[in-house]
Amino acid sequence: MTKTVVEKETKAKSAADVPWNVVVHNDPVNLMSYVTMVFQKVFGYSRVRAERHMMEVHRKGRSIVWSGGRERAEFYVQQLHGHLLLATVEKSQ
């Protein structure tokens, strides 16, 4: 009996823990230097890491810039929209 309850709780917790991704999409208007600055400002990334994500957006069309809880992901997307970047939140695969 106890074992069944523990298993159910574990399954529920796992579903809630599924991380969410913050994805930035390419836009031909935004300057690369501007996008880099926004990543540093919003996420506190180093210049090197911010430039890596910026180049991924530029070359591949998108980059997963952050993963974690849903609420935080939505907050970050709002921040990125405030800086006029194209960003979406999606459930991690």
Partner 1 sequence: MLRIIPYSADPDENKAAEGRLFSKPESEEGHLSADWKIYVEPELRHLFQTAVKIVETDLKKLRKRKSENDPPEYRLKIPAIHMEAWLNATNQARLVLAAQHEFSDEELGGGIPVSITTAKELGLFQINFYGFLQECFLRILEQE
The footprint of partner 1 (CB under 8 A) covers 23, 27-31, 33-34, 37, 74, 77-78, 81-84, 86-90
At 36 the three-state DSSP class reads helix
**81 CA to centre of own chain:** 13
| CB contact at 8 A, 34 and 71 | no
Helix (H) or strand (E) holding 9: helix 2-16
> Of 9 and 47, which has the nearer Cβ to partner 1?
47
Residue 37 CB, nearest approach to partner 1 (Å): 6
Residue 65 CB, nearest approach to partner 1 (Å): 14
> Of 52 and 83, which has the nearer Cβ to partner 1?
83
